[in-house]
Amino acid sequence: MADIVLLRCDNNYARNAARVTLSSSSSAAPSILLGTSMAAALEQLTNAGFSIQSGSADGAGFSFTLIRGEQPENPGIIDYFKDKIGENVTIETLAGTVGGTVLNVGIDVIKLQEPAGDILLVRAAQINAAYP
Amino acid sequence: MNFEQLLSDYIGRQIEVFLSSNYYTGDLLSTGNGQFTILVTDPSYQTPTEQVTLFSNQVSFVRILAL
């Protein structure tokens, strides 16, 4: 399971700083004290293994989503096969070509069922190409 | 869910493991972090021992044979 932190930092123009005004995190994530400077909070979280998933700015401050944990190494491949669940695909890998119905998609693996009934677990990092 | 977690559902089953330049077949004994162990049922000179630990990063795909 991934750990997630949502962070809101509002500008304080009088102090020339942006400070944390809202921090919402999943249970295993470190808690960020309100009032912590934005830079210090981001440093604390990145040192704890988090990376910024998204960030945005508006007239009042900054918002961040940070995630730690299971993230796909090959998000393009994973997203492709998530759209193919239930469909038949052929996959070219470094060890040969396989095919079947996409049953499930993990963070680094595609689960297929071959026509003969066998299950295939294909590692995403080893996939060269795919086609219907 | 990652590769080893999905594979762990099939402990005790007969599997075929395909690497880019090698192939193993046997019964899946256990899975761990980045690795899994099989009891080779068709040993060859390349796999003289019966119990082989394979490292997931080198694996292209695993076939779990239907019962």
Count of H-run helices and E-run strands, chain B:
1, 5
The complex scores an ipTM of 0.92
State which fold the A75-131 domain adopts: SH3 type barrels. (2.30.30)
Say if A126 is an interface residue toward chain B (CB within 8 Å): yes
As a whole number of Å, the end-to-end CA separation of chain A is 31
Nearest partner of A41 among A55, A30, A53, A56, judged by Cα = A30
Structural domains in chain B?
A: 3-64 (2.30.30.100)
- B62 → closest Cβ in A107, A116, A121: A121
AA identity, residue B32 = G
Which pTM does this prediction carry? 0.68
pLDDT tens digits, one per residue of B3-60: 999 999 999 999 999 998 888 999 999 999 889 999 987 766 666 668 899 999 999 9
Beta pairing, strands A88-93 & A61-68: unpaired
Q: Do A123 and B60 lie within an 8 Å CB cutoff?
A: yes
A98, A120, A123 member nearest B56 (Cβ): A123
Tokens of A97: 């070509």
Question: Where are chain A's structural domains?
Answer: 3-68, 75-131
Chain A CB within 8 Å of residue B10 CB: yes
Of A95, A96, A118, the CB nearest to B64: A118
In order along its 132 residues, chain A shows pLDDT tens digits of 678 899 999 988 888 888 999 888 877 778 888 999 999 999 988 888 888 888 999 989 999 999 887 667 778 888 899 999 999 999 999 899 999 999 999 989 999 999 999 999 999 999 999 998
DSSP assignments along chain A, one per residue: --EEEEEEEEEETTTTEEEEEEEEE-TTSPP--TT-BHHHHHHHHHHTT-EEEEEEE-SSEEEEEEEES---SSHHHHHHHHTTTTSEEEEEETTEEEEEEEEEE-SSEEEEE-TTS-EEEEEGGGEEEEE-
- Flag whether residue A117 sits within 8 Å of chain B, measured between CB atoms: yes
